[in-house]
Every structure is written in C-alpha cells, then in structure tokens.
C-alpha cells in the first residue's frame, strides 16, 4: 500500500464534521473528524490542510498529519501553539470545517522490510501512528522509540504499545522511561534490533541526529519534515526543504524525505516557545 | 455548483462576462495572480482551468533560481508575508514542462517574467515570444524578494521604462507590466511604462513588510523582510488602481486581497479591466471560481449586462 | 488590575520601564498616537493618564480647521480608513482648553502640529514653545487627508527638511518629525530630517487607501481616499521602523497596529525607543494600559531588566 | 431626569452578559444584556458601544441605542446589515461581550412639555422606546407616528401602544396602517395634536422632512442622528454632524440634536442596502 503512486489518489476539498475533540494532556488534543473521502484514500504519513476559522484575519490553513483512520473518520493529534491550534482546541462535536487531503508523499516502506524502527519526539508521534498500524498489519516487526517532555505527554504510547513489538520511552524529567533524549533510545535500538529502516519525526534537531545514527549504522532512514505552508498543494513554494536535488516542496515532494537526500541547513520552522 | 465541471449555463446566461484586455479576449475578467497558482497543474484537482479568464504563471527567469532560505512565509493580521524569491526552474524547463502541460487546457496563458538585468528580462521575453501557447507576458518589475532586479526596476521611472522598451522590442504579444506599490507615486511609473510601449499594467505586487517573533527576537522570515498580500492590503491596492486608471489609457489588471466577487467589483469600479486572485486561493483553492460565479450573480442581480460596464464606473 | 488606579507595584517592580527619548524622561515607552486620543480628556474615564509614557495630542494648526465631509471612516480587513482631515479648533483654543486641562495630569504632553505651509507650521511651533506644559512637539508632515500641506511635505526630502529647519529655528524643545509611509524610501526622508535638526522621528502615519461600496458604486469615504491604520499595517510599519532605525542615529517612535505588549516589543526590537497606540484604543479604551502592564510582565518573564534593552535587539 | 447633565454620569467599560436574543422580524432582533452599571445610569436616547467580536479583523465597536431598561438589563433593538450585526444575531444566552456606555446626549425634553410627538422610521424606534416610557411616566401625553416597510417590521409597536396615548402607523406595502411614508402620518399628527415637541429618529431623509414639518408648524424638534463611529467617546472626530455651530461629534455632542441646529449636508451614513 505504501508504494502506491500518490498521483492515483488525488486530494479533494472535503467538508468535515467534528465527531470528538478530547484533551489528552496539557496543550495536546485528539480531534476526530468524519471525512469519508479522505479516510478512504489517505496513506500513512500524509496530511490534511485544515481551514480552522472562516474569518479573514487568519487567512492560512494549517497542516496536520493524519494520525489514524477509523472507518470514515480521521484522527489528528495536535499541540496548541498559536491561534490556529487554540481555535482547533475549541471545536466541539458537530462543528464543521473543511479539509484538503490527503496531501503529500507518505512513508515509503518497501515490501521487503522485515523490521522497522519508528522514532518519535513529542508530536512527531502523529504521522507515525498510522504507519505503525499499517506495518504491523503487514507483518513487519515494529520497534518504537518514543520521547516527550513528561510521561503525560507521551500521547500515542497506547497505540504504539498495542501494535509494536517493543516500545521504549524517554522523558525529559524521567517521569516515564529513561530521563533524557529519545536519541539515546534510538541509538540503543538501532544497535540492538538492526532494523531495515528507520522512520523518524520530531523536532528537526532530533530528526537530524537520528538520521546521522542511521547513516552511521548503514540503515535507510526516512524523515518527516515540517515547514510553514500556505497552499499545501505545491503551488506557492513556501514550504521548501533543501535537498541534494535542490529545494523541494515539503507539501508534495514530502513531507517524508529520504534522510540521505536532506541538506540540514537550519531552514526548519522556528522553534516553538 | 461543482467548480470542476464546466458550466452548462454559460451559453444561456444573460450576463456577458467576456472582456477585451490588451488584445486578448478573455472568457471573464478573473485571472490567477502570479506565484499563487504555480502553472495551474496543482489546482487542476480542484477546478476546471478552462473556466478562468487566464492563468498567470509563477515568475520565470532565464536561468533556474533557487529562491530564498526558509522560513519563507509568515501570517499577519488579515494577510501574509512571503519571501519566496522567485524560485523557478528557468525558462527552458518551464516551456518544456509547465507550458506544454498548460497548452492542453483551453485557457489563455500569461507568463510572468523575472530578471536580474534588462538583458535577462528581454531574453526571457524573446524566448517566450516563440511559443504559440503563450498568450501574453507579465513583466514583474516589482518583486520585493530578490536583491538584484525585481523591485529596483519598479520603483524608478527610468528603469521601469527601460525594461518595458527592451521587452517591447522583442515581442508583439500583449505585454503587461506589473507595478510595485512601494513607491511615492505609482501613477508616475504607470505613465513611464505606458510611454515605453506597454499594453497593460497590473497592480499591486506585494507591499514590503516585516514580522518579528517577540520571544526569539528574530524576524519570522529568513530573509528578514517580505511581501505583504491578502485582504490587509486591499484598501491600498484599490487606491492605487484608481490612481493609475485615472492617469493612463492602458487597461489595468487589479489585484491585492481579492477574495470575493464584491472585491472584484470594487476593483473594476476603481478602473480595472480584469482582476487577479492571489492569496485567497491558498485558503480556498476554488476562490477563483467563486469569484467568477459571484460576478455573474452580482451582474444579474444589479442589472449589469456586460461585466466590463463596471470598469471605471465609480460614482464620485 | 483596574486601569484607573495608579499601580502600587510600580516602585517595587524589578523592571525599569523608563526610557529617555529626545531629552524627555518617560515613565514608560508607551504613548498615544496622535488623533486617536484627542487630548486625553475623553479617555480619562477609562484610565489614569499619569500612567502613560506621554500623551500625544490630536494635530493642532494655526487657525481652526473644519476637516473633511462625512463619512470619515470605513472599516477594512484588520484595519480602518480615516479621512478626518485634521479638524481642530486652532492653537489658541487648544492652549486655552485642552492644554490647560492636560497640564494638571502629571503626564508629558507632546503636541502634534499641522500646517498648510512651512510658515504655518513654524507659527504653531513658536506659539507652543511658549507654553511650559508642552513637553515636546511632533510635526505631522504625513497626513494623507489634507490637500495642501500634510503628506506633500512628508514625501519629499527637501520639503521635509525645510519644515524641520523652520520648526527647529523657533523651539528648543524636543522636536519629533512624523514620517509618511507613502514613499519609495522612508530612510531617505529620515536622513533629511535628521540633518535638518530633528530630535526624533515617529512612524508610520497612515497608509493611503480607499474603500468602495460595490452596490452603491461609491467610495465609502466622502473624500474618496483616506489613511489606513490598525493591525493590517503592522508589517509595513515594522519594516519601516527597522529601515529608519538602521539609517539614522535619532530615536524612533514606532506605531502602526500596536495592540498588545508583544506588538510593542516587536517595534522595540526593530529599533524603536518608544511606541504609540492608535486605532487599538477605539476598540479597547484601556489598550495603552494593557500594553504597559504587558510590557512589564514580558520583561519580567524574559529577564529584561531595562525595557530599553529591547531597542534594536533584533537577532539577525 | 432628561435634564440631568451628562457629565455627572460618566461612561464605563462594562462586561455584559447576553440574557436573551430573539428574532422579532426578518433581519431584526432584540438583544437583552445584563449590564447593571449602564442600566443604572442610562438616559433615553443614549447608546452603548458594543465590542461584538474579539478577533482583529473587525476592529471597530458598533453603536446601538438603549431601547429599554428592565432592572439591571438593557435591551437593544438591532437590524442585521453587515458583519457586526450578523455576529450580534448569532449571540446566545450566556455569551459575554463588552460595552462602553452610557454614551452621548439623549433627548432633552423640558419639564414644561405637556404633549410630545415621537416619529420613528424603521429601527429609528430603537432610541424612542425608553423615551416613550419615561415621558408617559412623567405624565406627558405621547403620540407616536411609526413607519416601517411591512407590518412585521413595526417592531416596537407593542411598547408604544402600551404607553402612548395614540399610535398611528404607516407601512410601505400598506400591511398595517396607511400605505406610504411615516412623514404623512407625522404631518397629520403635528397638525391635529399640536404637540409641544417632536422627537424623531429614522433614515436621515425622513428625519429631515419631519424637522421641516415641525419648523413649519413652529414646534421644537429634536432629532437623533447616526454616524459611523470609531471611538464613540469623542476622541476621534469620525462621527461629526454639520451644525450651525460647526462640526459636532454625534457620539458626545449628540446623537440627539436640536433640529434647528442641524445643517443637512448629506453627510449621513451611506444608505443601507
Ligand atoms: C506536514 C505537516 C504535518 C503536521 N502535523 C502536525 C500534527 O499532526 N500535529 C500537530 O500538532 N502539528 C502538526 N504540524 C504543525 C502544525 O501545522 C502547526 O503546529 C500549526 O500550524 C500551528 O498553527 P498555530 O496557528 O497554532 O500557530 P501559529 O500561530 O502559526 O504559530 C505559533 C508558534 O508556533 C510555531 N509553529 C507554527 N507552525 C509550526 C510547525 N509546523 N512546527 C513547529 N512550530 C510551528 C510558530 O513559529 C510560532 O512560534 C504539522 C505541520 C506540517 C507541515
Ligand atoms: C448612536 C447610534 C445608535 C444606533 N442605534 C442602533 C440601534 O439601536 N439599532 C440598530 O440596528 N442600529 C443602530 N445603529 C446603527 C448601527 O450601529 C449599525 O447598523 C451597525 O454599526 C452596522 O454594523 P455592521 O457591522 O452590521 O454593518 P457594516 O458591515 O459596518 O455595514 C453594512 C452596511 O450598513 C451600512 N451602515 C453601517 N452603519 C450604519 C448606520 N449607522 N446607519 C445606517 N447604515 C449603516 C454601511 O454603510 C454598509 O452599507 C446606531 C448607530 C448610531 C451611530
Ligand atoms: C507566495 C506568493 C508568491 C508570489 N510570486 C509572485 C511572482 O512570482 N511574480 C509576481 O509578479 N508576483 C508574485 N506574487 C504577488 C502576487 O501575484 C500578487 O501581486 C500579490 O500577492 C497581491 O495579491 P493577493 O493579495 O491577492 O495575493 C506572489 C505572491 C505570493 C503571496
Ligand atoms: C482617526 C485617526 C486620526 C488621526 N489623526 C492624526 C493626526 O491628527 N495627526 C497625526 O500625526 N496622525 C494622526 N493619525 C495617525 C495615527 O497617529 C497613527 O500614526 C496611525 O493611525 C497608525 O497607528 P495605529 O495603527 O496604531 O492607529 C490618525 C489616525 C487615526 C486612525
Ligand atoms: S505549501 Fe505551497 S508549495 Fe508547499
Ligand atoms: S466616534 Fe470618535 S468622536 Fe465620535
């Protein structure tokens, strides 16, 4: 399924209805939306571009990975950062929005892969949820290295523990798993499990470190990158990632890139505060 | 109605939406604004391109340009800043890939042209002049996001006239000059490019602006400054369209914050022959079609037989 | 806290909010923007004027001015247009009524000055120079809403310098020149008024704009065009403050869409020594106080000991 | 009460709570807000300046006459015209807003007045509601000429019929009272009732006509005028009315003016559509 050419599954503009919106942790929520057309065609690692408010003062959509698909609903795991995500946190069952999706190229994990290591920092767990379920369903052995500031913020832990063979944790404050960065966990798992592929998403500095670990270990690494996005469909060139083949658009050429291709030039989204 | 299907009612509609603009006969006065619609391919999933008045492409230069570092955009109150910096694959790749694709879509193609020097502008225009599927060219002398060229040509009458003359010398196709709002007197520049042989002017390009993150103390754009677009700049754009339309005889293409059919009507009343929809397509990929359908309804409701009757019909 | 009561915490606060600006020692860097606060009397119901960095009054001219016809305002996306046209009772009535009232309020008074000619500007400055309760003067060479004078002086280096010199000749008090954003290069004008003897510059005045009612086909302002203010113009204002602060040595007063303490911080990072709150007072009459309190909290939270450490502290 | 100097009753910035918001007719609603401080001091003809939305795209407040005071609530009669009034129509019980008020100079009807004629066109009935109640309470005989496009839009009819001695109607379509303009009714009532004062509010062209009728009849006439307002408190000069003594601010020098003073120069708010 992951090797399906994206061009066969074109994005649509779909009216979506909020089915549930639950707070999972301080500043983190899970939004469930009825979106039959997107749910039917989205692949792991793809995202939706949400129009959160209809006013003119906030004129851009906001991109969110599809975390899971359940029936004709899609789930989005979100962190409250600014006005868009604040408005999102205020949505209630029955509210309507519109979404463009599915967008982008997701995780391309070839059929031959037997063991995959997923590395998630904070909300980086979002695009890895569907992937973990998908790989497990295909019989791939999945290990997960999951990091967050606190135990409470390990928001996708239950999903990963359900489908993965092994989930190892790191928290800044040591409230779950080891105290420290998820990159220590990923280094250990890379060495111990000898995965065929590493899939990583999280703050760019962390993703880059994991990519280096994978390169050192000679393991292929895919990384999902975030950029500020205007159109989300490839038209505006606001979201470029510097790669060995030039500046590519995260929204259509990514958001998942082969880590080998990425030139880490500090052009990531400015750090959250 | 579904923006992807051609309108069955077009033929029977009582409102004539067609406009003549610089020798081009357009189906309606609604175009895409350069740089917000790429070459249309990305939006073809959401709308039928043949319904548009014209597709105006992203800026094309002689050689490939890499554009500016990221972050390249920042949202502001009712607007956004961009500092894309005219990233493009160069005119040859554009012709081979984008133009070839567009040629099959029954829509007039206006190619937006960039350059660092007068020579480069002219070389691109000359190259495009050879392509039958190019209906016209829009010369961007107003991009605030490049160091050499760009806005420097658009803020000085002599330089603006020089670029226009050089382009005029190498093409007989409709030649539109895109003006910068970052000037003391935009009518002056308009008069200069009119005298130098332009067939039309388009305005406004983005307004030079800046956004800062108070906590990190950094500019939100890697390039520090960028161009402001969206509803925030509409009042400035309307004023400039009105000033320019009052100052020259050439047709004016109005843009800057067009989001609804009423916005389009306002630009036409101020003197625009056609309008372009830019930033609005980002939040609503079918914005152009909404504006076209809305224009038709507006004309029907208010008894306007021909949409071009709105042009310059401001009551003072 | 109640914006009407003086802060008990001011003395014990660790953050030093005072700023020196063109020889004036201000309690904090937050002033009112001319024309949005009259002479303060109307807002005294809502806040304690002595908490402000300074009150900048509505523009005052030699003789009474009647201003423009109504409608004089129009709301736009995240902004508003105004074409008040400097209606004021003339300097004598101002001194007798407004200044006398303000003098009792323990707040520095900066009087904004308008004129049709250089002579008129100078006459008003000379008259105000004689009033001990005038702390400083702000010369408005940038009003887009009057036919003679106003913006005409602010869009030309020679004229701007001439007004500055004439005012400088008749006062030793702090002299602030208020610049227009409707120019190709605002740094040029800033350099000209610096050389002509200004003590500070303030920017931006409103951006010339227009609004049209699509149905009636009329401009929404009786005067057709007006000045755009509010959050919509903040990116333009920040960019210009940054350009000007980089170009001259004089202190800069930044304004244009300041609504929150973070906005004020952004202007200071871009190079402003002080900021002014304009349009925001209309929607929230206590906006100035919110900005002052917010600045104090911001400095406390981010470890800024002296608010003026923010000035020019942009990290590039 | 109407002769109290306004400067003794300073405006306040008050958080108000919506108690009810009912549709009265096509595009017309009645909003009831708990606003104890404003309710305690507002006089007939004064208004409140409402902050309808908290976003930045609509940055101006909107002025509304206080139609009635009931206990610690104030009532506003509103017509949906643009985005402000559309948002207002969407308010529900429990919603919060903030209001500045009471603002402006209201109707100054001197103690000696025995008979008052109130003339209202459309929503012009709004600032006359409180006045009718107040005058009736003071024993003044009140006649009302009330006009609207249709019978349904005669929204304050019940209030006037309760307190006035006589209410005569005009509708554009003749669905109530006489078919035609309220100015025919006012002309008739002026002649027949010989009132001591005329108080008028409505579209400026209609108010002007009534003022002329009153002048011809030698009766004092007060008129409440609308202007677009930014500050509402007298600071910005956006709301001026041309008078024989110069351009005065509708928000603090009005909105009620002596009709004799007004120079009718077409500077009214652009006509609604
Ligand atoms: C392909 C893609 C998939 C994404 N998936 C998810 C997801 O599943 N869950 C989720 O919570 N977020 C996701 N994001 C990030 C999300 O889009 C942003 O957090 C959101 O747009 C912020 O909007 P806002 O209005 O709340 O913040 P804004 O007001 O726009 O910004 C507030 C602050 O957050 C910072 N910020 C804004 N966007 C980002 C970003 N993309 N990354 C880091 N910092 C940012 C800004 O620089 C600013 O400092 C994804 C982004 C991309 C590009
Ligand atoms: C002192 C005063 C008291 C008022 N009392 C009431 C009242 O009790 N009930 C009530 O419904 N309205 C009243 N108004 C008018 C009310 O303020 C406006 O209708 C409202 O501000 C429109 O806001 P909006 O955002 O819906 O319309 P906008 O989007 O601002 O405007 C939509 C259209 O309506 C027109 N318009 C805007 N304001 C007015 C106006 N004041 N008069 C006529 N046309 C206007 C505009 O020109 C435009 O064409 C009063 C106005 C004033 C000055
Ligand atoms: C992301 C982006 C890219 C743009 N690129 C170009 C360009 O390549 N050439 C050009 O002439 N104008 C470019 N523009 C300017 C637009 O064509 C238009 O003039 C401006 O955005 C105002 O219209 P709007 O408010 O509808 O967006 C760009 C604008 C945006 C937002
Ligand atoms: C209603 C109104 C009246 C103004 N009158 C004056 C004036 O008399 N003199 C002046 O120098 N600027 C005047 N200005 C400009 C403001 O002082 C300020 O420069 C501008 O509004 C930008 O700031 P803001 O966005 O915070 O309002 C006026 C602005 C408004 C909105
Ligand atoms: S967001 Fe527009 S090209 Fe990627
Ligand atoms: S609304 Fe500001 S003075 Fe009247």
Residues D59 and D149 in one domain: no
D255 and D183 within one domain: yes
Of C42, C74, C230, the CB nearest to D233: C42
Residue B168 lies in a domain: yes
User: Are A137 and A228 in a shared domain?
Assistant: yes
Residues A159, A244, single domain; the answer is: yes
For the Cβ of A235 lying below 6 angstroms from any atom of ligand 3, the answer is no
Q: Is the Cβ atom of A40 under 6 angstroms away from ligand 5?
A: no
Cis bond before residue B228 (omega within 30° of 0): no
| Interatomic CA distance for residues D140 and D153, integer angstroms | 27
In a domain, B5, yes or no: no
pLDDT, mean of each 10-residue run, chain B (316 residues): 51 81 96 97 96 97 94 96 95 96 96 95 97 97 74 88 96 97 96 97 98 96 96 98 98 98 98 98 97 97 96 96
pLDDT of C82 above 70: yes
**In contact, D219 and D197? CB cutoff 8 Å:** yes
Contacting chains of C (3 CB pairs or more, <8 Å) are: A, B, D
Position B142 scores a pLDDT of: 86
Our CA angle for B3, B5, B11, nearest 5°, is 105
Domain-located, residue C140? yes
pTM score > 0.80 for this model?
Answer: yes
For residue B193, the CA-to-ligand 3 centroid distance in Å is 20
Interface of chain D toward chain B, CB-CB under 8 angstroms = 56-57
pLDDT at B244: 98
Q: C168: how many CB neighbours lie within 10 A of its CB?
A: 19
- Other C-beta atoms within 10 Å of A70: how many? 10
* Contact across the interface for D236 and C282, Cβ inside 8 Å: yes
> Which residues in chain D have their CB less than 8 angstroms from residue C84's CB?
236-238
Q: What distance in Å separates the CA atoms of residue B223 and residue B104, rounded to the nearest whole number? A: 37
State the pLDDT at residue C152: 79
Which residues of chain A does B84 touch, with a Cβ-Cβ cutoff of 8 Å?
236-238
The whole-number pLDDT of residue D266 equals 79
Atom of ligand 3 nearest to the CA of B259: 26
pLDDT over threshold 80, residue A7: no
Q: Report phi then psi at B83, rounded to 5.
A: -140, 50
Mean pLDDT of D40-58: 90
Please compute the mean of the pLDDT values over residues C199-215 and round it to a whole number: 97
B143 catalytic, yes or no?
Answer: yes
Tell me what the mean pLDDT of segment C263-283 comes to: 98
Q: How far apart are CA A203 and CA A206, in angstroms?
A: 5
Is the pLDDT score of C9 beyond 70? no
Domain check: are D99 and D125 in the same one?
Answer: no
Q: Which of A45, A73, A103 is the last residue of a domain?
A: A103
* Same domain (yes/no): D146, D94: no
The CATH number assigned to the domain holding B301 equals: 3.20.20.70
Number of domains present in the structure of chain B: 1
CATH code of D85's domain: 2.40.30.10
Complex-level ipTM: 0.95
- C284 phi, psi to nearest 5 deg: -130, 105
What letter would DSSP give residue D4?
S
In a domain, A260, yes or no: yes
Distance, CA C113 to ligand 4 centroid (Å)? Answer: 13
Tell me the per-residue pLDDT of C165-184, one tens digit each, with 9 for 90 and over.
Answer: 999 999 999 999 999 999 99
Q: Could you say which of A77, A103, A129 is where a domain stops?
A: A103
pLDDT tens for each residue of A209-268: 999 999 999 999 999 999 999 999 999 999 999 999 999 999 999 999 999 999 998 777
pLDDT at residue D272, as a whole number: 46
Mutate which of D237, D241, D255 to test ligand 6's pocket (most atoms within 8 Å of Cβ)?
Answer: D237
The answer as to whether D74 is a domain residue is: yes
Give the per-residue pLDDT at C145. 73
The answer to whether residue D109 is domain-embedded is no
Average pLDDT (C82-98) is: 96
Q: Which chain B positions have a beta carbon within 8 Å of D82's beta carbon?
A: none
A106 in contact with ligand 1, CB cutoff 6 A: no
Of the listed ligands, the closest to the CA of C67 is 4
- Ranges assigned E (strand) in chain B: 19-21, 24-26, 30-32, 55-56, 73-76, 79-82, 109-113, 136-140, 175-178, 200-203, 207-210, 212-213, 218-219, 225-229, 252-255, 274-277
Asked whether residue A4 carries a pLDDT value surpassing 50, the answer given is no
Please state the atom number of ligand 6 nearest to the C-alpha of residue D237.
3
- pLDDT over 90, % of chain D: 89
CATH number for position D263: 3.40.50.80
Predicted local confidence at residue A65, as pLDDT: 98
A151 in the same domain as A99: no
Which residue is it, tokens 């003809």?
D45
3-state secondary structure labels for all residues of C11-58: CCCCCECCEEECCEEECCCEEECCCCCCCCHHHCCCCCHHHCCEEECC
Residue D181 to residue D214: CA distance in whole angstroms: 16
Amino acid D271: pLDDT: 55
A72, A103, A134 — which closes off a domain? A103
Does residue D59 belong to the interface with chain A, where contact is any CB pair within 8 Å? no
Range of the domain at C193: 11-310
- Spacing, Cα A252 to ligand 5 middle (Å): 8
Q: What is the pLDDT of residues D55-67, one digit of tens each?
A: 776 789 999 999 9
Q: Does a structural domain hold residue A109?
A: no
Nearest CA to ligand 2 atom 20: D62
Q: What is the mean pLDDT of residues C29-45?
A: 96
Residue at A139 is within a domain: yes
Give the pLDDT mean for C6-22.
Answer: 73
Residue C76 maps to a domain: yes
Smallest CA–CA distance, residue B248 to chain A, in Å, is 32
How far, in Å, are A122, B183, B217 from residue A273 at the CA level? Answer: 14, 37, 12
**Residue pLDDT, tens place only, D82-132:** 999 999 999 999 999 999 999 999 999 999 999 999 999 999 999 999 999
Q: Is residue D108 part of a domain?
A: no
Does any domain span residue C315? no
Ligand 1 centre distance from Cα of residue B134 (Å): 39
Reported as a single tens digit per residue, the pLDDT across D158-205 is: 999 999 999 999 999 999 999 999 999 999 999 998 999 999 999 999
Is-contact B28 B307, C-beta < 8 A? yes
How much is the CA Rg of chain C, to the nearest whole Å?
18
Residues D41 and D160 placed together within one structural domain of the fold:
no
| Residue-wise pLDDT tens digits, D197-235 | 999 999 999 999 999 999 999 999 999 999 999 999 999
Residues A128 and A244 in one domain: yes
D193 within some domain: yes
D162 CB within 6 A, ligand 2: no
B152 vs C192: which has the higher pLDDT:
C192
The catalytic site residues of C sit at: 143
Same domain, D131 and D93: no
The per-residue DSSP string of A48-109 comes to EEEE---SSSS---EEEE--EEETTEEEEEEE--SHHHHHHHT--TT-EEEEEEEESB----
Predicted local confidence at residue D32, as pLDDT: 98
Residue C132 has pLDDT above 50, yes or no: yes
Residues in chain B within 8 Å Cβ distance of C211: 235, 238, 266
User: Number of folded domains in chain D?
Assistant: 2
- The overall average pLDDT reported for chain C is 94
Residue A273 lies in a domain: no
C6 falls within a domain: no
For C82, residues 6+ apart whose C-beta sits below 8 A from its C-beta are C35, C72, C73, C145, C206, C226, C227, C229, D230, D236, D238
- Same-domain status, D196 and D121: yes
What residues make up the domain containing A208? 115-268
Residue C295 lies in a domain: yes
Any idea which residue has 């999280």 for tokens? A202
Q: How many CB atoms lie within 10 A of CB C297?
A: 11
Taking the alpha carbons at both ends of chain C, their separation in whole angstroms is 36
Q: What pLDDT does residue B10 have?
A: 47
Q: Hey, is B288 helix, strand or coil?
A: helix
Same domain, D27 and D52: yes
In this prediction, residues D242-255 reach a mean pLDDT of 95
C316 in a structural domain: no
Question: What b/e readout covers C127-158, taking b as 16+ CB neighbours within 10 angstroms?
Answer: bbbebeebbbbbbbbbbbbbeebbbbbbbbbe
Q: What is the pLDDT of residue A115?
A: 95
Q: Which chains touch B (3 or more CB pairs under 8 A)?
A: A, C, D
| D85 Cα–ligand 2 center, Å | 8
Alpha-carbon gap, residue A48 to A37, rounded angstroms: 12
Cβ atoms of residues C220 and D270 within 8 Å? yes
């Amino acid at each position: 399924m992951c090797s399906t050419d994206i061009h066969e599954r074109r994005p649509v503009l779909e009216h979506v209805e909020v089915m549930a919106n639950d707070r999972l942790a301080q500043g983190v929520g899970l939004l469930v939306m009825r979106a039959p057309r997107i749910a039917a065609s989205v692949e792991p690692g793809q995202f939706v571009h949400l129009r959160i408010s209809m006013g003119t003062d906030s004129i851009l959509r906001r991109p969110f990975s599809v975390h899971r698909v359940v029936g004709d609903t899609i789930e989005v795991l979100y962190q409250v950062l600014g006005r868009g995500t604040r408005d999102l946190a205020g949505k209630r069952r029955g509210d309507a929005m519109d979404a463009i999706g599915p967008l982008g190229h997701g995780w391309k994990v070839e059929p031959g892969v037997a063991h995959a290591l997923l590395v998630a920092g904070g909300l980086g767990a979002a695009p890895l949820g569907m992937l973990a379920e998908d790989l497990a369903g295909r019989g791939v052995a999945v290990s997960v290295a999951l990091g967050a500031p606190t135990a409470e913020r390990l928001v996708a832990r239950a999903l990963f523990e359900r489908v993965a063979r092994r989930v190892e944790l790191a928290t800044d404050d040591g409230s779950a798993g080891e105290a420290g960065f998820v990159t220590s966990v990923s280094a250990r798992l890379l060495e111990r499990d000898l995965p065929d592929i590493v899939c990583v998403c999280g703050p760019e500095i962390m993703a880059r470190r994991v990519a280096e670990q994978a390169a050192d270990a000679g393991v292929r690494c895919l990384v999902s990158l975030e950029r500020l996005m205007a159109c989300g469909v490839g038209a505006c060139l606001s979201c470029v990632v510097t790669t060995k083949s030039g500046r590519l658009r995260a929204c259509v050429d990514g958001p998942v890139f082969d880590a080998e291709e990425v030139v880490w030039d500090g052009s990531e989204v400015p750090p959250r505060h | 109605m579904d923006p992807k299907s051609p309108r069955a009612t077009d033929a029977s509609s009582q409102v004539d939406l067609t406009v003549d603009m610089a020798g081009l006969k357009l189906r309606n006065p609604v175009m895409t604004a350069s740089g917000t619609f790429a070459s249309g391919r990305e939006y073809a999933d959401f709308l039928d391109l043949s319904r548009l008045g014209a597709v105006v492409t992203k800026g094309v230069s002689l050689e490939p340009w890499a554009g500016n570092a990221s972050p390249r955009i920042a949202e502001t109150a009712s607007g956004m800043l961009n500092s894309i910096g005219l990233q493009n694959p160069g005119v040859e790749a554009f012709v081979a890939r984008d133009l070839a694709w567009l040629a099959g879509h029954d829509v007039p193609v206006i190619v937006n042209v960039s350059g660092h020097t007068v020579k480069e502008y002219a070389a691109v225009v000359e190259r495009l002049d050879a392509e039958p599927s190019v209906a016209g060219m829009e010369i961007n002398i107003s991009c605030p996001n490049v160091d050499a060229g760009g806005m420097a040509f658009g803020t000085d009458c002599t330089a603006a006239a020089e670029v226009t003359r050089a382009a005029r010398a190498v093409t007989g196709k409709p030649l539109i000059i895109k003006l910068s709002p970052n000037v003391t007197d935009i009518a002056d520049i308009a008069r200069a490019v009119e005298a130098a042989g332009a067939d039309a002017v388009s305005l406004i390009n983005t307004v030079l602006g800046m956004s800062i993150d108070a906590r990190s103390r950094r500019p939100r754009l890697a390039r520090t400054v960028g161009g402001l677009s969206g509803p925030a700049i509409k009042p400035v754009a309307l004023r400039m369209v009105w000033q320019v339309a009052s100052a020259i005889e050439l047709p004016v293409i109005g843009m800057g914050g067009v989001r609804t059919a009423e916005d389009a009507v306002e630009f036409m009343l101020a003197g625009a022959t056609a309008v372009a929809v830019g930033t609005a397509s980002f939040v609503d990929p079918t914005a152009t079609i909404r504006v076209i359908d809305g224009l038709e309804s507006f004309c029907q409701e208010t008894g306007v037989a021909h949409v071009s009757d709105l042009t310059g019909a401001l009551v003072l």
